[in-house]
Structure 1
Amino acid sequence: MNSSKILGDFLRDRRSGGGYGPRWRDWADPCLQRLIDGWYGVPVLLCDPLMNVCAANDLGAALLSGLRHTDNLFKLIFLDPAARDFFTEWPHIAAAATDVLHSIAAQGHHPGLTALLGELAEQSQEFRRMWAGHDVSSDARRVKRLRHPAVGELTLFCDVLDVVRLPGHHVLALQAEPGSPSEQALALLGSLAATAN
């Protein structure tokens, strides 16, 4: 299928109320949404403590195009069959995600955590194995290697920024090395997203 069509369909679904679009745009903090939208050339996601995606800029949404479970990054990692191809170092990503979930669980009761863990355990044998064999030694790599269906291989540096006025929320910003093929691929993805809009 044409990569522009995949991306266009995804972005149209977001705007028309299908998929996860309303959740991203109707979360009621227009100032923070404007800040996120203002980051050009960098995919940006705003996530809550359970990695529910609360907001994204267009490039952040385009980066997730073609994937299921884009409302929650833990579900995307463990429940979307395409995640193993999208995250080229999936075992490291999954181990780091399991570490984060163990850390959240150790902090005490968190609304929604039990339901999320139950869903992951029920639907993912890999998650059950990692959760049971938990080893805190996995490394949360700053460099993310992705394979996007529309633009190919991407090597991105992930920065996580805490949002002080929304405790537990954080911004994920994924930057490419200046002048790299990944920067060119992100520019192409941005052009495809703009064309689809």
Structure 2
Amino acid sequence: MLREHQDVPDRAGAVALIDSWAGVPAFAHDKHLSVFAANGLATALLPIFAVEVNLARAAFLDRTLERTGIDWDDASEQVASSLRATLASYGEDEEYVEVVGELAALSPDFATVWARSVPAPTRGTFPFRVDRFGVMTLTYQQLLIPGDRGDVLVVWRPADDHSAKRLAALAQSLVD
């Protein structure tokens, strides 16, 4: 599911790869944390992993993460640190200033988390609570997609056998 952008035709390869992984939750976002590709399993796992959702806005303004079983403190630090990493690697641009400015103006929590200056992790583990499937613990890995735009592929895998069974059941429910 490619977000329509005339200036990014090479994202089609990332989209095709992600779509081919029916049993692996995966999505890709740009340097501003806007999702441009996601497979069905990723969005079933957490609806904010959907195309065109900005993960920072979803975390701090919508507060969707607080209702999912994910540790909001850990996730919000990850989001803020990812935005800081973007600034360090790519500098400011109009969209970056818009996202960070909006978060700073509308979310007191963002200012607090932003001030912590925690380094951005490229891997970690989170519990997910999915209706009908219960809690499953998944480990993620972030991989920088080659190019100069700062696009990132995020791939999840079960952290244990219990979670593997629940994730497989969730994946199967999308096929049935």
Q: Name the structure 2 match of 1:79.
A: 61
CA distance in structure 2 between the partners assigned to 1:85 and 1:24 by the alignment: 30
Runs of 5+ consecutive residues of structure 2 not aligned to the other structure: none
Matched residue SS, 2:47: coil
Q: CA deviation at 1:64?
A: 2.3
Give 1:48's aligned amino acid: D
Match among 97, 110, 126 for residue 114 of structure 1? 97
CA distance in structure 2 between the partners assigned to 1:101 and 1:145 by the alignment: 23
Q: Name the structure 2 match of 1:128.
A: 111
Structure 1 pair 88/173, CA: closer, same or farther in 2 (3 Å)? same
Give 1:23's aligned amino acid: R
Q: Name the structure 1 match of 2:3.
A: 23
Match among 146, 157, 168 for residue 187 of structure 1? 168
1:46 aligns with 2:22: no
Q: CA deviation at 1:35?
A: 1.2
Residue 43 of structure 2 contacts residue 49 of structure 2 at CA under 8 Å; is this kept in 1? no
Q: What CA RMSD, in Å, does the superposition of the two structures yield over aligned residues?
A: 3.0
Matched residue SS, 1:175: strand
**TM (normalized to structure 1)?**
0.73
CA distance in structure 1 between the partners assigned to 2:20 and 2:68 by the alignment: 26
Residue 98 of structure 1 contacts residue 134 of structure 1 at CA under 8 Å; is this kept in 2? no
Structure 1 pair 111/70, CA: closer, same or farther in 2 (3 Å)? same
Q: CA deviation at 1:104?
A: 2.3
Instruction: Write out per-residue CA displacement over residues 54-93 of structure 1, whole angstroms, 9 at most, x where no aligned residue.
Output: 1011211222238899611112221223311325321112
Q: CA deviation at 1:25?
A: 11
